[in-house]
Structure 1
Amino acid sequence: MAQKMNVESFNLDHTKVAAPFVRIADVKHLPKGDTLTKYDVRFCQPNKAHLEMPAVHSVEHSFAECVRNHSDAVIDFGPMGCQTGFYLIMAGEPDVPATCELVEATFNDILELDAVPAANETQCGWGAHHSLEAAQDAVRGMLAHRSEWEQVMA
């Protein structure tokens, strides 16, 4: 077996997962008693498919804005460098079923958008690098497999 790495996802056997899924990637119990839970919201099968960057960028903007209409526990939502998914960081103990409901509600909000939030030079570092259509296609793909999200391994 390979040596355990410091980064949790480097210890995940990416050949054994079955995307799309939502899984607990990490839980941190902070010194003052708070808990942070990091979820792996995986859109694409690792090493088989990926999201193009305009889709990644637009899902990131749209999700980050829309999810906060549903939960005050959201800390961050950011893309994975491999372009296969995102990390959702939440305050609180792990709850995959509730998080899946939150992700589903947010994805449905994204499908209702007529523009990517903050996709302009004033509010974004690369405001022209967006595609609402690509983001909505990616979200539709995830929602089509909603019943499978809690099954991580093939």
Structure 2
Amino acid sequence: MNVESFNLDHRTVVAPYVRLADTKNLPAGDVIQKYDVRFTQPNVAHLEMPTIHSLEHLFAEHSRNHSDRVVDFSPMGCQTGFYLILQGEWAYDDVLTLVQDTLTDITTATEVPAANEVQCGWGANHTLAGAQEAARTFLGAREEWSTVTA
């Protein structure tokens, strides 16, 4: 199939993990990398939408304090994780550091950025506490992030 994640056997992965899902060499010579940042076990558990929405806002804002090469942090429709898109070629350990530093920032955040009707399409659909709990859970499994399959 054309979509990389559709070729991944979701029954064999063991969340949480951070996985390089794709590298694209663009026509002008730019490189982007897409990482699968999986919070919950596919087809077993999922994140609730207010938690996902808040993690998206928080990670998008706070990750850019650590790197100007963050292109996007987008939720997966299956509600089990996110795609982190980065400009350039990254060493895997540097990606893990970016994720760890950003999630650590989220655990101490005092608000969800842009969680209002002016800056967000569903400003009432947020939970700082839910995002912080998910971030703490993911951080607590830091030693497991490099293991994608059992």
User: Percent of aligned positions with the same letter in both sequences?
Assistant: 63
Q: Which residue of 2 aligns with 1:37?
A: 33
Instruction: Give the whole-Å Cα distance in 2 for the aligned partners of 1:53 and 1:30.
Output: 33
Instruction: Give the whole-Å Cα distance in 2 for the aligned partners of 1:143 and 1:127.
Output: 26
User: Which string of whole-angstrom CA distances, capped at 9 and with x for unpartnered residues, describes residues 20-40 of structure 1?
Assistant: 000011100011211000000
Q: Which residue of 1 aligns with 2:46?
A: 50
Secondary structure in structure 2 of the residue aligned to 1:123:
coil
Aligned length: 150
RMSD: 0.6
Task: Select which of 91, 98, 102 maps to 2:94.
Answer: 98
Q: Which residue of 2 aligns with 1:151?
A: 147
Secondary structure in structure 1 of the residue aligned to 2:36:
strand
Secondary structure in structure 2 of the residue aligned to 1:103:
helix
Equivalent positions of 1:56-71 (< 5 A) are 56-71=52-67
Q: Which residue of 2 aligns with 1:107?
A: 103
User: How far off is 1:97 after superposition?
Assistant: 1.1
Per mean C-alpha deviation after superposition, the further-off stretch among 82-91 and 92-101 is 92-101
Mark the runs of 5 or more structure 1 residues left unpaired by the alignment: none
Amino acid in structure 1 at the alignment position of 2:82: F
1:132 aligns with 2:138: no
Instruction: Give the whole-Å Cα distance in 1 for the aligned partners of 2:116 and 2:77.
Output: 22
User: How far off is 1:95 after superposition?
Assistant: 2.2
Instruction: Give the whole-Å Cα distance in 2 for the aligned partners of 1:149 and 1:92.
Output: 21
User: How far off is 1:94 after superposition?
Assistant: 3.9
Q: Which residue of 2 aligns with 1:11?
A: 7
Mark the runs of 5 or more structure 2 residues left unpaired by the alignment: none
Amino acid in structure 1 at the alignment position of 2:29: G
- After the TM superposition, list the runs of 4 or more consecutive aligned residues in structure 1 that deviate by more than 2 angstroms: none
1:86 aligns with 2:82: yes
User: Which string of whole-angstrom CA distances, capped at 9 and with x for unpartnered residues, describes residues 111-135 of structure 1?
Assistant: 1111100000010000000000000
Secondary structure in structure 1 of the residue aligned to 2:12:
coil
